Amino acid sequence: MIRVEHALRAALERHRTSVVPAPDRSRLALRLARHDRMRVARRASVAGAAIAAAIAVGFVTTRDSGGNTIDVSRADRPAAEVTTAPSALGTTATTSPSTTGTIAIVSPTTIAAAPPATAAPVVVPPVTTTPEPDPPEPDPPEESPPETSPPPDGSFTATYGSGESSESPPWDEYFGTAPPDSAVAISSPYGSGSTTTDPDGYWSTTVEFPAAPVGETFSVTLTNEAGTATVPFTRTA
Amino acid sequence: MDPTRDDRRARVLALYDNEHASLVRLARLLVGDPEAAEDLVQDAFVRLYRARPALREPHAASAYLRTTVVRRARRRGRRRPATPSDDRILDALGRLPARERECIVLRHYAQMPEPEIAAAVDCSVVSVHAHVRQGLSALPWLMSGQEQKAWQ
């Protein structure tokens, strides 16, 4: 046993000195930038859904192109506060519950504040200039991709990333490139999803596989108009 | 307060400069394939970037990276078998069960104490000790008969 240990340690030391990996710093920088970009896009998507929901239930007042305010507020429910701000990729937004009954959309949308409680919808005459609050501090400028990593050429690429095969439910992250604004569908026997590439041609999404049996490797198919890719997934716990 | 995004990126990239080589070597012992090892390490740094608290302490960040590499190597190892090594004993190491391989690599290569290994591979300290002993016992049987005789 001792001789095995000595031989193993010698082999490991040879491995330590002989393996000289080449760092790919630019690839990591690109992945971090893409992570930030996707995070911003997800936040904007969530905020957009919140705004749409708020409008649908009548919590907000909207302003038409002529400057007339259309009040569709509901008096019997609390409202939410929504703020949006421009970012490098468009609009970012956050929402929070509020009992003040107001929704303030800063920029670039034209939805304005609603009074907290009115008995019935009221059409308000043309609004005088409403001072808008200072927009939140914009996100820092997006890091330019390194010169060694050219922008996507519109071809379809797909890979899997930092998911967890041992969580419940297990999930994986998929990302890659495809033609800008095109749809990417992810399908498998135990879970599916879809997403759309951003204007730069990057896409990313996560898919859960709640019904996947432990230990069975199955194929996850990623489909786009520019191609198809298949990657394996195995639930480990 | 969390560091700003640019600060976090700079910290992750600085950590990458310092830790990349050792982590890739560790990953290569676990998965064999050089490309898979590089992918594992890249994934670990992306996960570290997401895990803001782990970035605040350099020691915690290093431990987080090593644990992430080990856990993801186990998963990758099941998908892509390790490629044969030029070194017979390392080749045999690559054919050990994943848990035994991880414990031996972390003990004899990364020189981590057993409690840290237990946390990284998600088992008890007693199990770590047992995995190391079992793995070392199995190595001669996994090697060629000639080298096995040389040790006896």
Q: Where are the beta strands (DSSP E) in chain B?
A: none
Confidence label for B16 from pLDDT (cuts 50, 70 and 90) = very high
Calpha distance A211→A192 (Å, rounded): 11
Q: How far is B17 from chain A (nearest CA, A)?
A: 8
Per-residue confidence in pLDDT tens, chain A, 237 aa: 677 888 888 888 888 888 888 888 888 888 888 877 776 666 666 666 666 666 666 555 555 556 565 554 444 444 444 444 444 444 444 444 444 444 444 444 334 444 444 444 444 444 433 333 333 333 333 333 333 344 567 788 877 665 667 777 888 877 778 888 889 999 999 999 888 887 777 777 778 888 888 888 888 899 999 888 888 888 877
Do the Cβ atoms of B140 and A9 come closer than 8 Å?
no
Taking only residues 57 to 76 of chain B, the set having a beta carbon closer than 8 angstroms to any beta carbon of chain A reads 72, 74-75
Taking only residues 8 to 47 of chain B, the set having a beta carbon closer than 8 angstroms to any beta carbon of chain A reads 9, 12-13, 16-17, 20-21, 24-25, 28-29, 34, 37-38, 42-43, 45-47
Helices A2-18, B5-31: inter-axial angle, 10-degree rounding: 130
Calpha distance A63→A81 (Å, rounded): 17
Residue-wise pLDDT tens digits, B18-36: 999 999 999 988 888 888 8
Given a cut of 50, whether residue B67 has pLDDT beyond it is yes
Q: Which pLDDT score, from 0 to 100, does residue B24 have?
A: 93
Q: Given CA atoms A111, A115, A121, A122 in this order, what sign does their dihedral have? A: negative
Does B95 or A122 have the greater pLDDT score?
A: B95
- Whether the full predicted model's pTM is greater than 0.80, yes or no, is no
Q: Which pLDDT score, from 0 to 100, does residue A90 have?
A: 41
Q: Which pLDDT score, from 0 to 100, does residue A3 have?
A: 78
Please report residues of B whose CB lies closer than 8 A to that of A11: 87, 89-90, 93
Q: Which pLDDT score, from 0 to 100, does residue B105 have?
A: 92
Across the strands, what pairs with A84?
A: A93
Q: Which pLDDT score, from 0 to 100, does residue B73 have?
A: 85
Calculate mean pLDDT across residues B128-138.
Answer: 90
Q: What share of chain B is helix, strand, coil (3-state, %, to 5)?
A: 80, 0, 20
Q: Which pLDDT score, from 0 to 100, does residue A125 have?
A: 45
